[in-house]
A and B are shown apart, each in its own frame.
Chain A
Amino acid sequence: MNPQDYDIVLKIKDESDIAVSRQMAKNFAQKMDFSLADVTKIATAVSELARNIYRYAKEGYIYIRKKEGGSEKAPAIEILACDRGPGIENVELAISGGYTTSERSLGLGLAGIRRLMDSFHIESEVGKGTVVIVEKRRRVF
């Protein structure tokens, strides 16, 4: 992965970075002409990803880019979240929804993101870190 291939790079380190990344994602999705509903879904997904980084890995990065769809197809937004945190022991369980290792949480972040986006990939290794890549295609006008 090359950071230079991305339009936006967000470093997540402080709690306030969660709200900042949410706003940046929202603006970018708006500029890409996503519908209001999709802009909200994208901003919410980024908010969840940023919070997971802040909470579990302390710090990490979120990369955002526009992916051209080719001549006939509409473009997509790709969001990549990565950290070198503790990793997830049981990924299947973590994305199934309702599972959480936090005290005050619903455990619906990852499961929610998966439902909001068109594609969802997660790779995690205990002691190494976590990478989540999601995409949402814009509807063709």
Chain B
Amino acid sequence: MDKKEGATMKNKVVPTIKLYDYLLVPIQIELDDNTVERLQMQILHEIHEKEVRGIIIDVSMVDVIDSYISFVLSETAGMAKAMGCYVVICGIQPQVALTLSQMGIKLKDIITAQSLEDAINILDKLE
């Protein structure tokens, strides 16, 4: 690991895993506003640094997604798209999906998948 990468690792909000050309982002912490904003920065940096062609955000551990978190996730996906990278969200809990749909919130620019395997299949087809 070189020095530059070491420095960015320290600012990481969520540890990520590189999988083929994809970056797996498993969210296992509470998404407060500050965290979700830092996560956005981290993802954009990692796309740039690691030449990632697809991002998979695993939200199976996230039990509340409200309108601002939704907005930031969509915004991140839009930015990633501009960088030539698709964002897939997988593992959204059924009650979270129900709440979002009842609120009329749509995850713009985001592809949704049921599982990690599903997400990889979708990304493979998009290439």
Contact = CB atoms under 8 A, between A and B. Distances in A.
A112 B96 CA distance: 13
Contacts of B102: 41, 112, 115-116
A112 B103 contact: yes
B67 A26 contact: no
A28 to B, nearest CB: 14
B77 to A, nearest CB: 14
A51 B30 contact: no
A48 B95 contact: no
Main secondary structure of the interface of A (DSSP, over half): helix
Contacts of A36: 95
Interface stretch (A67-75, A79-87, A103-111): A103-111
B66 A51 contact: yes
A19 B62 CA distance: 12
B30 A19 contact: yes
Given A97-B104, A109-B67, A40 B33 contact: no
Contact of B96 (A16, A40, A116): A40
A39 B93 CA distance: 13
Contacts of A47: 64, 66
B67 A105 contact: yes
Main secondary structure of the interface of B (DSSP, over half): helix
Contact of B104 (A37, A44, A105, A115): A115
Interface string B32-58: 111000000000000000000000000
B98 A106 contact: no
Contact of A15 (B32, B64, B72): B32
Contact of B64 (A37, A40, A106): A40
Contacts, number: 81
A115 B103 contact: yes
B21 to A, nearest CB: 29
Contacts of A64: none
A22 interface: yes
A116 B51 CA distance: 41
Interface string A25-46: 0100000000011011101100
A18 interface: yes
Nearest to B75: A104
A15 B30 contact: no
B32 A112 contact: no
B64 A22 contact: yes
A40 B98 contact: yes
List 7 tightest A-B contacts by C-beta distance, closest first. Answer: A112-B103, A19-B32, A40-B95, A47-B66, A37-B95, A108-B67, A106-B67
